[in-house]
A and B are shown apart, each in its own frame.
Chain A
Amino acid sequence: QEESIYVPLFTYRTGPFAGSGTPIANGMHDYLTLLNERDGGIGGVKLIVEECETGYDTKKGLECYESVKPKKPVIVNPWSTGITLPLIPKAAVDKIPVLSMAYGLSASAKGDTFPWIFNPPATYWDGFTQILQYIATQEGGGIDKLKGKKIGYIYLDASFGREPLPLIEQLSKELGFEAKLYPVAAADMQNQSSQWLSVRRDKPDYMILYGWGALNATAVKEAVKTNYPMEKFISIWWPSEDDAKGAGDGAKGFKTLNWHAVGADFPLLADIQKHVVDAGKSQVSGKDKVGQVLYNRGIYNSMLIAEAIRKAQEITGKKAVTGEDVRRGLEGLNIDEARLKEIGLEGFTGAVKLSCADHNGHFSTFVQSWNGTTYEKVSDYIAPMSDKVGPLLDADAKAYAEKNAPWPARAEACDAS
């Protein structure tokens, strides 16, 4: 029997979050398909790529997990903070690494406590400090400029949106800004008028958005309606082009974080266009979809997977690597500029390097702004405020282990690189 590597993709092309889930699914899928089509897999081993539809629903997600488990997946990426949480304790037992790329439990960045969970390139906490720093520069200076400012935080009232709350509490005290919270229940995603009324009353100087699915689109529309100054409305990295487009011209100036390029101007994407899309092996609904924010997010995610597998092959010398090998591969992940160029993604994103202790990297991100048709990069790369986030992260990882006692101590050796 021919050797192969099984990579399941948990996706959601249905349900209320399909709008965000579909481009990501396409990006992830097309990249891996390209590797199969063009290179015959990774290191000569074919990838078996299989989608499992979760509908962003935790129960279905777990069902997907159980159904792929017997097929020995080398990695899973749940694409939902809700699905990630129950998988965190399971991963070590089942020996399947979890890649929750820039979502999930922030504390899982701590490789010592969570040897099987990886969440590069930045956590939601990092993202929040990056937005704060951007605001500070807009105010024309250092982080102390935040003092006395009023900052509104509108978020999906679920584990994802609530993640930053402890951080906000602490930072608002330390940095002297006033935080206003506007939670949006999942059922009210498309019905945010009360929140925006409050915004109208509170007149925050800046608004920060942590949304997903229809929440983003509605928030942008409501902001336009409320005449909220768009350039002061900054989101975490999840909104898409569609989310901004619906609000028309008014949405120009809407900002989000990002850590990779938008657009299809990369050799790799050209290859995808040629080998996958044109060959009818992709599910994208139009050529213009290739290169959009969330499509490229999917690309980035698959790049991490592919590189981790490659690294695992390198470390172990095996071809058909297993989940355990890929975990080591992820810890040894080191994608530098040169490697990016090889891949065909030069300039697409910054270098990625993980380690046994740091499963996140806490990399810099930049701010991009909606110009009516696409997002443009408008800032330099901003590093997270690790001095603030770091201790919190340590404390949180510790608290997690305590609450879930007996939490197994890390037994996995570290391939010191």
Chain B
Amino acid sequence: MLYNIFIDPFVQMVQMPDLLVQTLWEGLVSGVLYALIALGFVLIFKASGVFNFAQGIMVVFSALTLVGFYEKFSAAGFSGHTAAFVALILTAGVMFVLAMLVERVVLRPLVNQPDIILFMATFGVTYVLIGFGEMVFGGDPKQMIASELFLPSGSVDVEMLGGLVSFQKIDIAAAVIASVMIVGLALFFQKTRIGRALRAVADSHKAALSVGISLNQIWVIVWFAAGLVALVTGIMWGARSDVSFALEIVALKALPVLVLGGLTSVPGAIVGGLIIGIGEKLGEFYWGPLLGGGIESWFAYAIALLFLLYRPQGLFGDKIIERI
């Protein structure tokens, strides 16, 4: 038993290095995708202290909108790529409208309420989006228009370490796009005036109001940004499986990532994503069979919990101020 837990997995790693590489890669890719969802959370949390539960459904919603628009346009006789890009722009527009609505209807009346109340309000938003989304788009899964958006498909198979390791092109693209977005956002937060204002709002709505920061404007900006991140996430996840409401559950996977990296840290989202993604895959792959499999469902949380016991604010989160 002890052998199985402590030795055998490592023996396996050494014996089949190609599989180890493949596992690491898969971990990396899911890590990047988790990080993308987490990033949406972080954006909104950082800028308003709102823990946006609706981020998951925003991913589904934006992806469905994109596909929905595309279907309309291609039915109207536009060519694949044109239709896809027009749809993309229109979807961005829809996300903007959504951001405005959320700000107007939900956030503005709830300014300066406790975090948990705003958290709850985003549940309301989730319900509305589910109801609305299913009403408009129907419940059946749709195909993501990956190739129409010039996203690559197929895989690069590399012969190495005595085996064949295959890298999906779409995964490579996802990793690249996610990195670019994350670096951009991190810079934005640390270096710009608006970024600083965003952090101030997260700290205290009341004080931010008193120094003349326009919460309304800031919230629209942030929710729109989060909407765009959701759209990108939706495209990437959609390309891996289907676009359907089942995807919403995947958003839960972002929570340990978020906590591990720190709720307020953009780089934390990516580091957390990678740790969770890779840890989870390694755990399931090498240790899962010992426990009957399926440990992936909680393994991520266990990793996050361990890190938290060591650092209660996550790896990169703002310190929890305890002073009296």
The minimal Cβ–Cβ distance linking B162 to chain A, given in whole angstroms, is 14
Given contacts A184-B294, A218-B240, 18 further A-B contacts (CB under 8 A): A16-B246, A19-B242, A22-B139, A22-B140, A185-B297, A187-B253, A190-B247, A193-B26, A194-B296, A195-B284, A197-B19, A218-B241, A225-B155, A225-B166, A246-B141, A246-B242, A285-B138, A285-B140
Q: Mark A1-38, 1 if CB is under 8 A from B, else 0.
A: 00000000000111111110111000000000000000
The minimal Cβ–Cβ distance linking A378 to chain B, given in whole angstroms, is 25
Chain B residue at minimal CB-CB distance from A180: B289
Contact, CB under 8 Å: A193 / B30: yes
Contact, CB under 8 Å: A194 / B26: yes
Contact, CB under 8 Å: A242 / B241: no
Chain A residue at minimal CB-CB distance from B130: A14
* Residues on B with beta carbons closer than 8 Å to the beta carbon of A396: none
Give the contacting residue for B249; candidates A12, A16, A217; CB below 8 A. Answer: A16
On whether A217 and B139 interact (CB within 8 A), knowing A18-B134, A190-B250, A197-B23, the answer reads: no
Interface check B237, CB cutoff 8 A: yes
Contact, CB under 8 Å: A14 / B134: yes
Chain A residue at minimal CB-CB distance from B245: A16
* Residues on B with beta carbons closer than 8 Å to the beta carbon of A197: 19, 22-23, 26, 281, 285
Pick from B139, B141, B253 the residue with the most CB of A within 10 Å.
B141
Q: Mark A171-189, 1 if CB is under 8 A from B, else 0.
A: 0000000000111111111
On whether A190 and B245 interact (CB within 8 A), knowing A13-B139, A18-B139, the answer reads: no
Contact, CB under 8 Å: A214 / B242: yes
Interface check B113, CB cutoff 8 A: no
Interface check B168, CB cutoff 8 A: yes
Contact, CB under 8 Å: A242 / B285: no
Contact, CB under 8 Å: B143 / A15: no
Contact, CB under 8 Å: B141 / A214: yes
Contact, CB under 8 Å: B143 / A246: yes
24 A-B contact pairs sorted by A residue (CB < 8 Å): A12-B139, A13-B138, A16-B248, A18-B244, A19-B139, A181-B292, A183-B293, A185-B294, A188-B294, A190-B241, A190-B250, A191-B253, A194-B296, A197-B22, A197-B281, A197-B285, A198-B288, A200-B22, A214-B241, A217-B241, A218-B242, A221-B240, A242-B140, A246-B242
The minimal Cβ–Cβ distance linking B224 to chain A, given in whole angstroms, is 26
Interface check A245, CB cutoff 8 A: yes
Interface check A271, CB cutoff 8 A: no
Contact, CB under 8 Å: B244 / A193: no
Interface check B16, CB cutoff 8 A: yes
* Residues on B with beta carbons closer than 8 Å to the beta carbon of A242: 140-141, 242
Interface check A417, CB cutoff 8 A: no
Interface check A201, CB cutoff 8 A: yes
Contact, CB under 8 Å: A225 / B168: yes
Chain A residue at minimal CB-CB distance from B153: A248
Q: Mark B274-303, 1 if CB is under 8 A from A, else 0.
A: 000000110011001100111011000000
Chain A residue at minimal CB-CB distance from B147: A248
Contact, CB under 8 Å: B139 / A15: yes
Interface check B308, CB cutoff 8 A: no
Interface check B218, CB cutoff 8 A: no
* Residues on A with beta carbons closer than 8 Å to the beta carbon of B237: 190
Contact, CB under 8 Å: A201 / B19: yes
Give the contacting residue for B285; candidates A14, A185, A201, A218; CB below 8 A. Answer: A201
Give the contacting residue for B297; candidates A182, A188, A198, A200; CB below 8 A. Answer: A188
Interface check A120, CB cutoff 8 A: no
Contact, CB under 8 Å: B245 / A18: yes
Chain B residue at minimal CB-CB distance from A181: B293
Pick from B16, B30, B294 the residue with the most CB of A within 10 Å.
B294
Interface positions, chain A 206-226, Cβ under 8 Å from B, are 213-214, 217-218, 221, 225
* Residues on B with beta carbons closer than 8 Å to the beta carbon of A213: 246
On whether A194 and B246 interact (CB within 8 A), knowing A200-B19, A227-B166, the answer reads: no
Chain B residue at minimal CB-CB distance from A224: B155
The minimal Cβ–Cβ distance linking A210 to chain B, given in whole angstroms, is 14
Q: Mark B16-50, 1 if CB is under 8 A from A, else 0.
A: 10010011001001100000000000000000000
Interface check B252, CB cutoff 8 A: yes
Pick from B244, B253, B289 the residue with the most CB of A within 10 Å.
B244
Task: Report the Cα distance A15→B16, complex, angstroms.
Answer: 41
Contact, CB under 8 Å: B138 / A193: no
* Residues on A with beta carbons closer than 8 Å to the beta carbon of B244: 16, 18-19, 214
Task: Report the Cα distance A181→B294, complex, angstroms.
Answer: 10
Contact, CB under 8 Å: A191 / B30: yes
The minimal Cβ–Cβ distance linking B125 to chain A, given in whole angstroms, is 18
Interface check A394, CB cutoff 8 A: no
On whether A198 and B289 interact (CB within 8 A), knowing A187-B297, A191-B253, the answer reads: yes
Chain B residue at minimal CB-CB distance from A190: B241
On whether A201 and B252 interact (CB within 8 A), knowing A184-B294, A214-B242, A217-B141, the answer reads: no
Chain A residue at minimal CB-CB distance from B294: A183
Interface check A157, CB cutoff 8 A: yes
